[in-house]
Structures are given as structure tokens and as C-alpha cells.
Amino acid sequence: MAHHLQLCAPGTRVLRITITEATDELIALHLEGKVSGKWVECLENTCAAELKNAARAVIDLSGVSFLDRAGMILLKNLSECGVEIVNALPFITEQIRNAGPL
């Protein structure tokens, strides 16, 4: 059963995070919207709280339309720590791959 964490700006949903699976073996998050601005910190906090309890973590970016530089770096760092990033648009995959330090 999916658990929704909805992050909203006044009048506009900017980033929606859905926990699609949560077991000791796997935690899976599905993102929709934009990973930018203050929502990068919200995603980082969610990941810190949710991803530490499972042996394997997956973040599905199929619903992500935009990343700012901080979002790219966060996702690259998560990837380098073993989080599997899946279903990203090709240009977003490339942005994450080439993200440098802030």
C-alpha cells in the first residue's frame, strides 16, 4: 500500500513523494514534480528518515520534470551511497551523472 507525503507550495503542488514499498528489504519512493529550491531539503530529510531502515533503496523519477543544481547533487550523492535511481528522463539522468559539488 502506498503512503503519500505531499509537499505543497501555496496554491501549487511542487513535489509529491510517495512511498510505494516499505519493508526491511526495500524502500521505494516515487517522486512527482520539481526537485528544486526548498523541496530539495524536504527530499533530503525524507530520504534520511525513510531510506536508512531498508537493505535496498530505490527512487523512481518517472514523474520528475525538473531538477535544480542542488537537486542534481542530492540525487547524485544518494546514487553514490547505493540508492538506485530509476525511470528518469534521459536529460535528467545526464544532469545527475554530471552534477558537481555546490
Predicted confidence (pLDDT) per residue in 66-84, tens digit: 999 999 999 999 999 999 9
- C-alpha 21/C-alpha 2 separation (Å) is 7
| Architecture field, domain 3-98 | 2-Layer Sandwich (3.30)
Q: Is the pLDDT of residue 9 over 60?
A: no
Tell whether the model's pLDDT for residue 8 goes beyond 80. no
Residue 15 and residue 40 in contact, taking contact as beta carbons nearer than 8 Å: no
pLDDT band for position 61 (50/70/90)? Answer: very high
Give the domain ranges of the chain. Answer: 3-98
DSSP H or E run through 33:
strand 26-35
